[in-house]
Amino acid sequence: MKRWTVAGVVLVASSALAAEGTLRMSWPVPFISYGNPYTRDEGSGIRSAIFDGLTALDLSGKLNPALAESWELQSPLSWRFRLRQGVVFSNGEPFDSDTVVRNFRILREPGANVRLPRSTELATVSEVNAIDSYTVEIRTKTPDPLLPRRLNMIAMVAPTAWDEKGLDAFSRDPVGTGPYRIRQWRTGNTSLVLGAVPGSWRKVKDVKVIDMIVVGDPTARIKALMAGQLDVVSGLAPDDMDPLKQAGFKIVVSHANSVLSIAYRTVRDDPSPLKDVRVRQALNYAIDKQAIVDQIMLGTTRIASQGAASTLPGHDPSIAPVPYDPAKAKAMLAEAGYPQGFPLVISVYSGMLPNDTLVFQKVAQDLSAIGIKVELRQMVFADYVRRLMNNEWAGVDAFSNGWLGGGLGDPIRAIDQFSCAFATPFFCERDIMPTIDATRVEMDPAKREILMRAVMRELNRVGVALWLVEFAGVTGIAPHVQNYATREATPLYENVTFSRQK
């Protein structure tokens, strides 16, 4: 038997753990909110193991049944959901229509949007009624074509346990309908052990125990994997792939439904060059995006042609990526009155995807070749959020931004940020707002898809952002781990199998 220490946690490698079916994983940040199901933070790695929504997104972003077996639109303001029967929570509480009604009550109580950020997904909901034991009607104040997608992010909690424990205690010992439940927190909330729940409707194959260790340093994660301390290590850089492959480890590249971009700030009082659409488009021609894919991301991702990732609704396949053409970029700048270029301050935060710091440096290098004197300023994510929500971009011309489609599986939130409808707009083209607004209330999926593609074309026409690449993640896996896959950043633990004893 061998013992190692990673991030202060003693790990034991033994056949006993393997016999129990333990999957040892790293996670990059502590679970600040423990197992709170209604936050938007670091807990995504465990929430899907513990909880279910009424709906679920599959690996391709397609909406599928979960605790609701089916749903249909009754009228523009009314949805009816038919629930899965025979489901129980990990504490034995039954799941039925009354459970759903009580969950919605929790999320719609006064102050819930402050304590439970996910409650904002229900902003359009006016009432929820139990039609019978396994049928629920959800009525909305305005037409909401994305309601079934929003419900994949609303975890169903055991209502009696929630009422008895309260938010803090429930977060430390959460009760859901998923295939796992927390067995133990280690050292506060830095690491934890999850155990399989017998009788869960989502059947577990081999992984009976998930041992999740917080290891912030990427180098430490790789060393732990190669030393046999961990079975799965995510958040790796593309240049980590070859050494791990040569050592006999497997690599999984997971494509996320998001796009890395540089957002242009045009809502401002000064006469910025970025107010000219020719300038905004010229910057797209200046970047060698294929070099970013090939040399920095080592082929793990693809060039972004628009804000909607290629897996999302609204992605228009007729929009080709802007080609690398620095001569054309310089000509467009000259036409706009900037033949010698101009200074540009870009604030960026790292960690959206591996090697993104190198991507931003490449952007600055390519822009300098056409006369754009770039000053890159680093910011932390919390600073980015504060600036974005309060429009505090003084002294900044552009900033890194992820066109996120994850969770919802739709790009509308990113579109909203780049529109006049955003609470604190930094970019606003009023002539495209009618098309954007129409997507919010169009209940026919085919018609909405046509509208969304039109929005993508319009956003490209007005040069809303500097598109770079689609998000992708690299995970290293021990040879004995089979059938490992992720839905966004969340592993499908119950599907994992082991090929042999460790």
- Residue 220, pLDDT above cutoff 70: yes
Q: How far is CA 54 from CA 35, 214, 353, 425, in A?
A: 19, 30, 30, 33
Q: How many helical (H) and strand (E) elements, i.e. helices and strands, does the chain have?
A: 16, 22
Q: Are 309 and 316 in contact (CB under 8 A)?
A: no
Comparing 396 with 48, which gets the higher pLDDT? Answer: 396
pTM of the model: 0.88
Predicted confidence band at 222 (pLDDT cuts at 50, 70, 90)? very high
Which tokens belong to 406? 């994850």
Predicted confidence band at 12 (pLDDT cuts at 50, 70, 90)? very low
Predicted confidence band at 3 (pLDDT cuts at 50, 70, 90)? very low
Predicted confidence band at 17 (pLDDT cuts at 50, 70, 90)? very low
Q: How far is CA 186 from CA 6, 42, 61, 194, in A?
A: 13, 16, 33, 11
Rounded Cα–Cα distance for residues 119 and 309 (Å): 26
Q: How far is CA 343 from CA 30, 196, 223, 274, 373, in A?
A: 39, 56, 42, 11, 4
- Residue 145, pLDDT above cutoff 90: yes
pLDDT digits (tens, 9 = 90+) for 87-113: 999 999 999 999 999 999 999 988 777
- What lies within 8 Å, CB to CB, of 56 at 6+ separation is 63, 64, 65, 66, 152, 487
Comparing 14 with 21, which gets the higher pLDDT? Answer: 21
- Residue 10, pLDDT above cutoff 60: no
% residues pLDDT > 70 (the chain): 93
CA atoms 459, 460, 463, 466: torsion sign: positive
> Which string of DSSP letters, residue by residue, matches 208-267?
-EEEEEE---HHHHHHHHHTTS-SEEEEE-GGGHHHHHHTT-EEEEEEEEEEEEEEE---
Q: How many CB atoms lie within 10 A of CB 111?
A: 8
- Residue 2, pLDDT above cutoff 70: no
- What lies within 8 Å, CB to CB, of 8 at 6+ separation is 187, 190
pLDDT averaged over every residue in the chain? 90
What single letter denotes the amino acid at residue 367? L
Rounded Cα–Cα distance for residues 481 and 484 (Å): 7
Q: Are 501 and 18 in contact (CB under 8 A)?
A: yes
pLDDT (0 to 100) of residue 488 = 65
Gyration radius of the chain's alpha carbons: 24
Domains, in order of start, for the chain: 2-49+178-231+478-498 (3.40.190.10), 55-161 (3.40.190.10), 255-473 (3.10.105.10)
Rounded Cα–Cα distance for residues 45 and 25 (Å): 10
Residue 66: closest CA among 136, 145, 156? 156
Rounded Cα–Cα distance for residues 292 and 312 (Å): 22
pLDDT digits (tens, 9 = 90+) for 455-486: 999 999 999 999 999 988 899 999 999 999 88
What average pLDDT does the segment 120-128 reach?
94
Helices (H), 336-432: 356-368, 381-390, 412-417
Rounded Cα–Cα distance for residues 62 and 311 (Å): 9
Q: Are 257 and 309 in contact (CB under 8 A)?
A: yes
pLDDT (0 to 100) of residue 46 = 86
Which tokens belong to 141? 């104040």
- Residue 8, pLDDT above cutoff 50: no
